[in-house]
Amino acid sequence: MKNCLSVKFTLGLAAALLVQTALLGAANELTPAEKSEGWKLLFDGTSLHGWRNFKKLAPPQKGWVVHGESLMHLTKGGGGDIITDSDFGDFELKWEWKVAPGANSGLKYFVTEERSSAIGHEYQLIDDTRHPDAKLAQGKRVTASFYDVLKPLPTQLKPVGDWNESEVLVRGKHVEHWLNGQKVLSYDLESAELKAAISLSKFKNTPRFGTQMRGHILLQDHGDEISFRNLKIREF
């Protein structure tokens, strides 16, 4: 009888895990619910399809690799920043990421090739404990900050080497940063508060910085190791 109960429990647990996997979806795959809600993958899990270097037609030949289920930038691998082929206006963007110890990187949005360099609003991705840049700018360079402009609320950051979940939401002139299910920052484009914050940042002389615009999504090559997966977006 005990053996029968044990087998039934094991089979029940296995069935529950299968159901959970079907609901959540595998890495870099959309669930039926996500597809019906208009989500699209930005990383197919096998290639750099849909990504290219800034102001170029093709992705880099080094630096960025598909490693297991993730899109990884290698330490000192080169390759440069990569941007999406498409640009976006109002959108919800979600992704998972992890950094190596001491690493610094970022995800940018509102990146336009009308500019001479790949400037955009950066969602900082960094080892807050080990990288010195996270100690600068009065909290405006820690994970989930609007880099050098606005600092986030205290975050529930997972240990280095673990996967974190991030989100950027843009609706009209309203923007939000989320980390591991918590809204940690929000601001309004072209607002007096944002203009004041930009005037104190390294972007104070950048034309149209902080204004509403369409732009590409960018993954930063900062010379360090960072991995991305489950990059997905839906437009409103």
Q: Do 21 and 85 have their domain in common? A: no
Residues in the chain: 236
Neighbour tally for 48: CB within 10 Å: 18
Per-residue pLDDT reduced to its tens digit, 130-181: 999 999 999 999 999 999 999 999 988 999 999 999 999 999 999 999 999 9
Q: Do 20 and 42 have their domain in common? A: no
Q: Which of 20-24, 45-49, 90-94, 215-219 has the least mean pLDDT?
A: 20-24
CB 150 within 8 A of CB 197: yes
Q: Which residues contact 129 (CB under 8 A, 6 or more apart)?
A: 160
- Per the DSSP assignment, residues forming a β-bridge with 92 are 169, 234
- Residue 121, pLDDT > 70, answer yes
Per-residue pLDDT reduced to its tens digit, 12-39: 544 443 444 444 468 999 999 999 999 9
Q: Do 75 and 6 have their domain in common? A: no
CB 105 within 8 A of CB 223: no
State the CATH number of the domain containing residue 46. Answer: 2.60.120.560
pLDDT of residue 25: 61
Q: Which domain holds residue 15?
A: 1-27
pLDDT of residue 184: 98
Give the residue ranges of DSSP H helices in 190-229: 192-199
pLDDT of residue 1: 55
Q: Do 204 and 122 have their domain in common? A: yes
pLDDT of residue 155: 86
